[in-house]
């Protein structure tokens, strides 16, 4: 028996995957079908029984990578998406394969073959597998390569105040107020940051804890962040959903 979890918000894609899995092996049991980042975060708060996860990347409320970030999920993931730009991020989130839509029976068979080969290789060597996963999870960058005009700059992360997205570009701002352009989307850059120092405030902003001067209630259930550098005029609001996690992050720093 192979216990599987599906993370997919498109009904047609979800039904196709279920049908393909049933055709390939009737011993595959679908433990859960999740359709959003929020649902995924809530579900994996516990330790559900699962051998493998099939996950879309782009969900209605964000990237599925957010589900695996800061969670002790030691289950291999086969990512399925219509875009090839997220491949490197996928392999830093327990990804063992990356399939492009539309998928077919052969794609799933090959992905499952890879899973079984890895399972066989690590059988009886759980310590090696744990060490490998731990290495991947803790390998965070100390610098970002960003652009300013035609120049590429190596920017120390402890000098980064915030990252934000605007007009489909990602900007990185340092403590001197200089603004640079990142080479990835905000979700992908988030995965490379140290979560003890950086927090995803909302869809637009990631902030560095060392440059947060204060925070206060906003619209009763949200939080408004005050940056320690007055020249940076950014209204950064922590959503109602993220406010409890933000408070815990600040108190435990």
Q: What is the pLDDT of residue 239?
A: 83
Closest CA to 248 of 88, 84, 24, 70: 70
Query: To the nearest whole number, what is the mean pLDDT of the chain?
Result: 85
pLDDT on residue 253: 67
How far apart (Å, rounded) are the C-alpha atoms in residues 77 and 139?
A: 19
**What's the confidence (pLDDT) of residue 131?**
52
* Structure-token match 């990142």, residue found: 182
Does domain 2-138 match CATH 3.40.50.2300?
Answer: yes
Taking only the tens of pLDDT, the chain with its 253 residues reads 899 999 999 999 999 999 999 999 989 999 999 999 999 999 998 888 889 999 999 898 888 988 887 567 888 899 998 877 677 677 767 888 889 899 999 999 999 998 888 777 666 555 544 554 554 444 556 788 899 888 898 888 889 999 999 988 999 999 998 999 998 888 878 877 887 889 988 889 999 999 999 999 998 889 999 998 878 888 899 988 788 888 888 887 6
Reduce the DSSP state of residue 25 to 3 states and report it.
coil
pLDDT per residue over 112-160, tens digit each? 998 888 777 666 555 544 554 554 444 556 788 899 888 898 888 889 9
User: Which is nearest to 212 in space by CA: 232, 195, 239, 193?
Assistant: 232
Asked whether the beta carbons of 228 and 207 are under 8 A apart, the reply is no
Nearest to 155 by CA among 121, 125, 181: 181
Distance (Å, whole) CA 228 – CA 224: 13
CATH number of 143-252: 2.40.50.1020
Q: What is the pLDDT of residues 1-17, one digit of tens each?
A: 899 999 999 999 999 99
Residue ranges per domain, the chain? 2-138, 143-252
CB hemisphere CA count around 46 (13 angstroms): 5
Helices and strands of the chain, counted as H and E runs: 8, 17
Q: So what's the pLDDT on residue 134?
A: 52
Instruction: Indicate the SS3 state at residue 122.
Output: helix
The Cα diameter of the chain in Å comes to: 61
| Nearest of 51, 4, 1 to residue 30 by alpha carbon | 4
pTM: 0.55
């Amino acid at each position: 028996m192979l216990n599987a979890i599906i993370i997919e918000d498109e009904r047609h894609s979800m039904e196709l995957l279920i049908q393909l899995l049933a055709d390939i092996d009737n011993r595959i049991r679908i433990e859960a079908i999740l359709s959003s980042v929020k649902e995924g975060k809530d579900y994996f708060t516990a330790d559900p029984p699962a051998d493998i996860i099939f996950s879309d990347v782009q969900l209605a409320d964000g990237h599925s990578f957010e589900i695996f970030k800061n969670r002790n999920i030691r289950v291999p993931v086969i990512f399925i998406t219509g875009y090839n730009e997220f491949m490197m991020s996928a392999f830093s989130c327990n990804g063992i394969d990356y399939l492009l839509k539309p998928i077919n029976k052969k794609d799933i068979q090959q992905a499952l073959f890879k899973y079984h080969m890895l399972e066989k290789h690590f059988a009886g060597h759980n310590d090696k597998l744990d060490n490998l996963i731990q290495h991947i999870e803790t390998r965070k960058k100390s610098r970002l390569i960003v652009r300013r005009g035609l120049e590429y700059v190596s920017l120390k992360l402890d000098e980064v105040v915030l990252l934000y997205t605007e007009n489909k570009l990602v900007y990185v701002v340092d403590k001197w107020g200089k603004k640079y352009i990142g080479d990835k989307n905000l979700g992908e850059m988030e995965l490379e940051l140290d979560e003890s120092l950086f927090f995803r405030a909302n869809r637009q902003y990631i902030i560095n804890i060392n440059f947060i001067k204060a925070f206060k209630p906003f619209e009763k259930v949200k939080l408004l962040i005050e940056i320690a550098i007055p020249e940076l005029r950014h209204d950064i609001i922590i959503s109602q959903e993220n406010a409890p996690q933000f408070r815990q992050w600040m108190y435990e720093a």
